[in-house]
A and B are shown apart, each in its own frame.
Chain A
Amino acid sequence: MSAIFEQEDMRMQASACPACVAAPSAERLAAAAAPKDARLMLSLPTAHCATCIVDVEHELERHPQVRSARVNLTLRRVSVDAEPGVEAADLVARLTRIGYEAHELDPDVLSATQADKRGRDILMRIGVSGFAMMNIMLLSVAVWSGAEAATRDLFHWISAAIALPTVVFAGQPFFSSAWASLKGGRLGMDVPISLAIILASSISVYETAHSGHHAYFDAAVMLTFFLLIGRYLDYRTRAVARSAAEELAALEVPRAQLLRDGQELTVPVGELVPGDLIRIRPGARVPADGEVTEGTSEMDRALLTGESLPVWAGPGSALSTGEVNLTGPLVLRVTAAGRASSLHRMADLVAAAESAKNRYTSLAERMASFYSPFVHLTAFAAFLGWLQVSGGDVRLAINIAAAVLIITCPCALGLAVPAVVTSASGKLFRKGMLIKDGTALERLAEVDTVLFDKTGTLTMGAPEPQNIADLAEGDLAVAAALAEASGHPLALALAEAARGLAVVPAAVSDLREVPGYGIEGLWQGERVRLGRADWVGAAPGEMTATHLQVGTRAPISIAFADRLRPGAEEAVRAFLAAGKTVHLVSGDTSGAVSALAARLGIAHWHAGCLPAEKAALVAALSASGARVLMVGDGLNDTAALAGAHVSISPASALDAARTASDIVLLGADLGPVADAVRVAVQARRRIKQNFAISLIYNVVAVPIAILGFATPLAAALAMSLSSVTVSLNSLRLK
């Protein structure tokens, strides 16, 4: 039962928020396992030109079982149609061989086709209203230039025949959203829009039937056309962000290696139950909480706790979901999976933080809440006033009220925000940042306090040896030889550094890795070891270190420091220069945190923070009136990310952290973060300017309309002029 409910939950989550599509669904994986024609999707992050398209498609089609391959350069993906049994790994290997980076994507997570349907729907409405607008405008120009009597009536009738079906079809997004807001007892921006469109059309039909001089068909259709463009831009911004977020999610296919009756099965993580035995290979992430029954290894817990030092694990050690196994294979008895796991308890913390965060009212919403009643009241007042002045001429009064509605109607207002957001997020996307939420830019512009996580955010989570220059040449050669034979991150870093110094590795034989401890071998008849302090007989220190023992000589320790993320220094410096308060919060030891804070010039630092303490710090700063930007990548940051005013996480962050944050950094460089704040401040200024432009235009036009001097020509001119001005102003963003 509970399993079924969980599945239901996940599907609901998937529809509620795009990034949650990351949640593993047992059903999805089961469907993927069924034998059928393979439709594979690969991500091609480096493809960029015609040659790339041809190379990739040819190479894939050379595979005997591949029917066809088609590159989509806009999305940087290739979709492959193949016979059953073709593995994505084969195709990735083929592409890697000819020099293209490729990653498998889970096609079920990518709901691009579904999302695209909405975009095509709006585009269709834009096309139809654009066609109608141009034709009606041709006829209207004839009327404006002086067509009289029967000719004018004929032109008005033809306009009506084009405009009415167009308005019914193209205006639907506004009508349905206006209806929804009316049912909810609110006056959204779509209510005056719908009212203006409907009133303008019906008044014009009435006027045409009575041979009136003024018909507003062109205005009704033009209003629809411009506002639909605003809608489409708004939709595009979100769709681009969503498809990229989906792609990040689709890169991780959550499965576990289950051991049952001596066989190893690959099962979806959702199917694990307490008591199951699972195997965790080196390099894999622990899929469920449990206790080690076999094997020894070291675990990287940086994403969970922020500790940069790997932790030893052997039979009896308790492991939490999300830790990464570094050296040896482990067998784990599951103690808690799914809802009960520590990962899920963390998610509850995030949910609490999110509900505590007040819903942000965007500039557009604030504007609408003030503007919408104003529009209705003005039009209604004009109606009553003219009813009074004309001594009961309802037709005249309604005509003028409609003119007021059309003129005040927020064509430019509808474009004011989406045009700026599209332009700004396009700019940031080129710098490698992905805006997941339209209001994130506005919130980013208000930030005055910045909180950085340490491990994985300011640092790469990749260690760098500090003192290899002090080592004797012979020792270094031995260390390099030992390090080359291991997959442990410290060993990898050491080997890389040795290669960088052009060290020739010594001839060490009988190399053997002792999982969880280190690596040993024979060199000139002596035993040499590289590994943990207690294993080689050294005293464990405060710093991250590995130890080298040659024969019976005293062990030498090689200390490591975490490598700074590129751009971290620039980002921190830019924030400090801009007068923002910068904090460093980490779950790591105070020695490591204070060293980094001193190196970057950060005055406020907090070490040894638990996830809840990070969230509490964010809450305390917010309570004291600060607008907090949280930059973090780990599970331990997730609650703080969700609770902050606005949050940023790198693409290397865990899924949960990316989901909780508003902006995702696509590259490894942290430099764009400071730039993003600058662009956001500028974008907010442009939005306000746009509002001012549309208001000024109203200040001029509304009195004219109320006094009854507005003509359809004036309305059309004012409407298009203000829309074009607003769009051009948005493009000025630098």
Chain B
Amino acid sequence: MDALVYLIPTSLALGGIGLLAFVWSLRHRQYEDPKGDAERILNAEWDDHPKP
């Protein structure tokens, strides 16, 4: 049962990372234009270097 000491915090921390990622995506308006983002990935324009 000693494993629980590591396993529980680990599972909580992993879940917490997921939650933080969700909060970040929400704060940075990642859900503003889902359809546009799905199409933009097909665009090869900035494949070689990032947009300045």
A74 touches B36 (CB 8 A): yes
Q: Per-position contact with B for A134-146: 1 when CB-CB < 8 Å, else 0?
A: 1100110000000
A75 touches B33 (CB 8 A): yes
Nearest CB on B from A397, distance (A): 34
Q: Per-position contact with A for B8-50: 1 when CB-CB < 8 Å, else 0?
A: 1001100110110011001000011111100110110100000
A134 contacts across to B, CB distance below 8 A: 15
A interface, over-half SS? helix
Q: A123-B31, A127-B26, A135-B12 are in contact. Are A53 and B36 (CB under 8 A)?
A: yes
For the complex, is B1 an interface residue (Cβ under 8 Å from A)? yes
Bound-complex Cα distance A71 to B32 (A): 11
B19 touches A73 (CB 8 A): no
18 A-B residue pairs with CB within 8 Å = A50-B40, A50-B42, A53-B39, A53-B43, A72-B32, A72-B33, A72-B36, A73-B33, A73-B39, A75-B33, A116-B32, A120-B26, A120-B31, A127-B23, A127-B26, A131-B18, A154-B4, A158-B8
For the complex, is A151 an interface residue (Cβ under 8 Å from B)? yes
- For A, the interface residue count at a CB cutoff of 8 angstroms equals 24
Within 8 A of B (CB), among A58-86: 71-75
Bound-complex Cα distance A49 to B42 (A): 10
Bound-complex Cα distance A217 to B22 (A): 23
Nearest CB on A from B41, distance (A): 8
Instruction: Give me 20 other A-B pairs in contact (C-beta within 8 A), A131-B16, A139-B8 excluded.
Output: A49-B39, A50-B42, A50-B43, A53-B36, A53-B40, A72-B36, A73-B35, A73-B36, A74-B35, A116-B32, A120-B31, A123-B31, A124-B26, A127-B23, A127-B26, A131-B19, A131-B22, A135-B15, A151-B4, A162-B12
Bound-complex Cα distance A277 to B15 (A): 68
For the complex, is A240 an interface residue (Cβ under 8 Å from B)? no
Bound-complex Cα distance A54 to B51 (A): 13
Within 8 A of B (CB), among A130-171: 131, 134-135, 138-139, 151, 154, 158, 162
Bound-complex Cα distance A71 to B26 (A): 19
Bound-complex Cα distance A626 to B35 (A): 43
**Which of B1, B11, B33 is A151 in contact with, Cβ under 8 Å?**
B1
A154 contacts across to B, CB distance below 8 A: 4
**Which of B11, B40, B43, B45 is A135 in contact with, Cβ under 8 Å?**
B11
A54 touches B45 (CB 8 A): yes
B36 touches A71 (CB 8 A): yes
B40 touches A131 (CB 8 A): no
For the complex, is A128 an interface residue (Cβ under 8 Å from B)? yes
Nearest CB on B from A703, distance (A): 37
